[in-house]
Structure 1
């Protein structure tokens, strides 16, 4: 995305409607007739001709279908990231396209983005969402005159706080205590949502908050064996996020 902003390109967001229904099946798959649609008796089965939501092959079929369309349009898929495509002209990148399931980003001059979107709409039904502001739990603020991008997860952090019943907690100034606790805590058989909490925090680290990377790495060491002390340490990171998220 910085590549696009540095060149003063548009960053436009699109959503593919019913993406997983777009692909043709390349194998024999049969299913029971759905209730209310039995033809020639309930003992008969039907053969699927196209992909269907709930089918385990559906995501792969959709990816292959989109990939084939993009190749036909002249895109190249990068070797470093299979979700990133480039449109080149005379060996110069003219447009970037990123894919995450059914979310597409087009990055390039507006007229070229519009042309590519129109070509995609010949095959798929797209919802135009305009300039990107929010994607995968991350608020994205682009200042084109200053060539700046700000990533913010304020809403995501609020949802995590609410999920772990910490929305009314007191904030703290640091993600970790100054000195490590020496208290001895016996093993517990109580269920603690420790792994879920660490996973939620890890997503924040990767997207917008490297300042909690050390604390999260430390918490990750105890995923196989943890107790109430580790859970309290993880909740401290949430308290820090509450105090420092704007």
Structure 2
């Protein structure tokens, strides 16, 4: 599910003022506006929105995970629901369709929600279903990494790194802009969600993330 205009739902717990909008006619340029609600572009907006959402979920009976604050769990006898939150997007899974629908109706009363249907794609992860269960794939995400690094036409290799091989420290100059390398390593680490065999490679490359040469 997707929350429409999520940041506008946040409640400010501190005094925040802003300059007058350019189109607002005012006799004095020294006047400012006091915000009563959170706005997009406000630094506090994401925190205020998440606090509002967490409060609503806990009121329904959810408990927030202490290891992952974006995960909320609901248990009532044999019924269980899990909510995973990413900004204004919510993944809902549950063991009882009736309870899940009741929860969706509750969310619509709290916020302006949009039901996007069954999960198909989320944060670079493709979700497919069959009679055996769910299948997670990051094919498009992996192709984006290969394309971004200019290796789309490279030949495949079954063993790109020898076992127990240690990379020697380079003696050349430090990269002027290490951001692309760090971004690449970060993306490879995220790729290990579904491709565990890449964990070793990502681990080796991360050794040089501080001063890549």
TM tier, shorter chain?
0.7 to 0.9
Aligned length: 210
Q: Which residue of 2 aligns with 1:63?
A: 50
Cα separation, partners in 2 of 1:33 and 1:213, compared to 1, 3 Å = same
1:60-209 alignment, distance < 5 Å = 60-90=47-77, 92-108=78-94, 109-143=96-130, 145-146=131-132, 148-177=133-162, 180=165, 185-191=170-176, 192=178, 193-205=180-192, 207-209=193-195
CA contact (8 A) 2:175 2:211 kept: no
Q: What's the CA shift for 1:99?
A: 1.4
TM-score (norm 2): 0.87
Instruction: Output the CA distance in 2 between the equivalents of 1:106 and 1:182.
Output: 44
Instruction: State the Cα RMSD in Å.
Output: 2.3
1:2-21 alignment, distance < 5 Å = 14-21=1-8
Cα separation, partners in 2 of 1:198 and 1:78, compared to 1, 3 Å = closer
Q: What's the CA shift for 1:183?
A: 8.1
Q: Which residue of 1 aligns with 2:32?
A: 45
TM-score (norm 1): 0.77
1:17-64 Cα deviation digits (max 9, x unpaired): 121111111100001112212444433110111111221111111111
SS in 2 for 1:49: coil
Q: Which residue of 1 aligns with 2:10?
A: 23
The range that moved more, 165-174 or 40-49, is 165-174
SS in 1 for 2:128: strand
Q: What's the CA shift for 1:126?
A: 1.2
Pick aligned residue for 1:211 from 194, 197, 200: 197
SS in 2 for 1:212: helix
Cα separation, partners in 2 of 1:181 and 1:86, compared to 1, 3 Å = closer
* Unpaired segments ≥5 residues, structure 2: none
* Unpaired segments ≥5 residues, structure 1: 1-13, 228-246
The range that moved more, 184-193 or 209-218, is 184-193
- The answer to which structure, 1 or 2, has the higher relative contact order (CA under 8 A, 6+ apart) is 1
Instruction: Output the CA distance in 1 between the equivalents of 2:167 and 2:200.
Output: 20
Q: What's the CA shift for 1:142?
A: 2.8
CA contact (8 A) 1:175 1:215 kept: no
CA contact (8 A) 2:175 2:212 kept: no
4+ aligned runs moved over 4 Å, structure 1: 177-185
Cα separation, partners in 2 of 1:73 and 1:40, compared to 1, 3 Å = farther
